[in-house]
A and B are shown apart, each in its own frame.
Chain A
Amino acid sequence: MDVFLQPFQFEFFRNGTLAAVLVGGLCGLIGVYIVLRGMSYIGHGLSHAIFGGAVVAFVMTWNFYLGAGLWGFLAAVLINQTVRRTRISADAAIGVITTASFAIGVALISRYRRFTRSFDAALFGNILGVTGQDVLVVAAVTLMVGAIIFFLYKQLLFTTFDAEVAQVYGVKTEWIDTLFSLVLAAALIASMQILGVTLIAAALVIPAITARLLTDSFNRMIVLSTLIGAVTGLIGMYLSYYVDVSSGATIVLLQATAFGLVLMITSLQKRAARRLIHTHL
């Protein structure tokens, strides 16, 4: 038992594990909506857009969370409105808006070479550098996102299933979409310091598609995806401590392995079920 508790004597590990579990669960929860709407690319894109916002916030000496958050939210709204009002498809709009925003960040960094702050953490994540204050921010965002999804559960489900029909049934879909953009931007910013811009997309998508393979019920998918995200966050942190590999990468690799196993098992089960039907004929 002591072996398992041993890493917890370090504060950086306690903070990191708490943050990884929260961020894993948070990304798992939001990922369900992202995957079911076919928006997997937006998680990847928006995290890059937010990176641009983070650099701008640093240069202008704004508060990081406010600056990057506002930037990410505006990018999400801009993508939504472009898709709604023009003939440009979602993937193209995401490609243009988020990459341009990322480029602003890169341009600013190359122009002002006097940066004292390292942006490595923002790009690749740095779970071990998580402070108590960072954990508080992640916990607050997780609580807020959880509350919004809890109280708008039915409206979000209907909008995700069929936005146009939801509108006919009195759901204010445009408002729901905007609120979801805000939630997504907040979740990405909270996750960015921990998983890094480059790994967030995987943490959003993998738990959700793994859960989808395991169930045909939306309610169960939500619970499973959140659990898979949180549990892989916890186990990934442990593994990274013992095998001495970067925590963010360990968590994502663990999730990918879980997905591969579930895919293999469910395919075998389906094949077995088919064989059973054939023998009955």
Chain B
Amino acid sequence: MPLLEIRDLCISYYTRAGEIPAVVDFSLVLKAGESVGLVGESGCGKSTVAMGIMQYLGNNGGIVSGSIKFKGRELTTLGGEELRRLRGSEIAMVYQEPMAALNPSLTIASQLMEVPMVHERVTQSEARERALKLLADVHLPDPERIMAAYPHQLSGGQQQRVVIAMALLSNPSLLLLDEPTTALDVTVEAGIVELIAELSRKFGTALLYISHNLSLMLETCDRVCVMYSGEVIEEGAVDSIFTWPKHPYTHGLFSCIPLPDADKNTRPLVPIRGQLPLPHERPPGCNFGPRCDFFKQGLCDAQDIAIEPVTVGKDADHCVRCIRWNDIDPSDAITVGPSKQAVAVGDIVLEVKGMQKYYEVDDRSIRALISGGGKRYVKANEALDFSARRGETVAIVGESGCGKSTFAKVLMGLETATGGEIRLDGINIGEMPVRERSAKQLASLQMVFQNPNDTLNPSHTIGSQISRVIRKFGVESDRAKVAERMLRLLDLVKLPRDFAFRRPRQLSSGQKQRVGIARAFAGNPSMVIADEPVSALDVSVAAAVTELLMDIQREHKTTLLFISHDLSVVRYLADRIVVMYLGRIMERGTTAEVFNPPYHPYTEALLSAVPIADPKIEKRHIVLEGAPPSALDPPKGCPFHTRCPRKVGAICEQERPPERAAGEGHVIACHIPLEELRGVEPVIRTAC
């Protein structure tokens, strides 16, 4: 008997607009100890499935039909009390936002101990013992201290480990993980992923792993279900799906992911055209039809399409929901876009020399008042040195809190530097706040922002927002000419002209981001800063926006400063890379230099932490301990020494590492001699 058996499950939400089917005909069989991944873009219904299993769909959600059997018991008809006994003891869950999932006003101890106390009626002291043991099992240092802490006193990674410990306290046979690492930094994510795999082996727990990240599936799951618009469109063993994706959508997803062999000039990404249909506007027949290159009228849109088994490769465990799967070979589709002309790199546009930015913080503790030292400094940026040339793409990479966004703010004049120089076209703008800059300077340096829902003012139309920029920068002043230029900018970002009259909430995330790009290019900038422009977008949309940005940059020969935490994207589009950690540059060089030995140990760990959606690629596993220290109290010596797996010794704790030139323009700040770093094996290797 399978552990979990879901048959033809349909879940709907009931809103003022009517019934919205979130999940349609979902079937899944999960054996004990097995791990299955549920992957898809936002709005595909993957999280709804998890909540359906938990029978927790809120006031407006409900199961329309189908069955969910857990160990042979039907969950959909279970009474409240039986359901309660099941939740948390047999089926447990780990959530996306660990901070939000923990009660802010209760200690970790009381939140952990109540689980066995409620489900197994154990005594207080036994519950305490078990909680301590599990905290040790999830590799949290000093469990006693963690027990006494409140959630906000722990880091994000620690919080998620506590949530995992809480889920495992009653030794459940099924663990649901809903995007458990999405809110975490990439090096922390790597640790959590490894922990989950380790624990599921150790406790024999079956996993249902929900994620938008296809790459993570490879490292965590035995089998994968790919969902699209409420349906499973492809399902099978991980290797089979990753090697022979049969559904055009799955295949399209892989072409959207910047794999290590992708390159912006020779092997550009191929975005999926169009956008995800809204739940109440799904097309007849195949939901993916309108976006599919293999769409055949009268066939694909004629009837509902069933999911059926396919035989590919050596595996028979592979199903696909495509009526034409036998006639088509998705790999016939273009997997590599037409190669594009590389931009000729020109003169130096931006030069950063010894730039630093300190924030003053008032220390209001009694000790500080008594000793009189009320001021402390957050060193957000320290001794930054790098340059960018015309037409070049320079990426700044680092995890949250590394100071990359602070640098962007200083560059834009929203903050001023506390030391050093930032020269744009030869003029030092580091200490020039935005109101002291001329219109020309402002126009020549523009920014694309991260959050698509925040980048446009919801109260004004798209057209008026773009027109304002055009007038403000003095590009045009005549009304008709402004309008004409605005419309041409919409053409530039491939949006229909009548979007000018729309308001931001009528646009999808990708479209908003396009408008953001149009706005940045309105004043013919010589340099554009893009602060994580695609990290909030779905994979297929992100690929399209990335390509658009690259095309416009190519055409205008603009310098692009690309700020990102995502090494895959950076490898794909950057010419040169700056790796930052705690406000300092750890390594900088060309993309090829940074991604190959000699590495800075931090770069090495970062590379290893990024999941790659290609089973042919082998990776060395390097998992960093702990979380980045606070910028308020940075470690002495090398900022990375507290987590560095290659720490040499006391010298790392006491002395700033020297900047060693490993090549022309390739600099590594580390105490380890270059020869030794050169001897390090590459992190990524393609298996033959």
Q: Do A and B come from one complex?
A: no
Residues of A within 8 A of B (CB): none
Interface residues of B (CB under 8 A from A): none
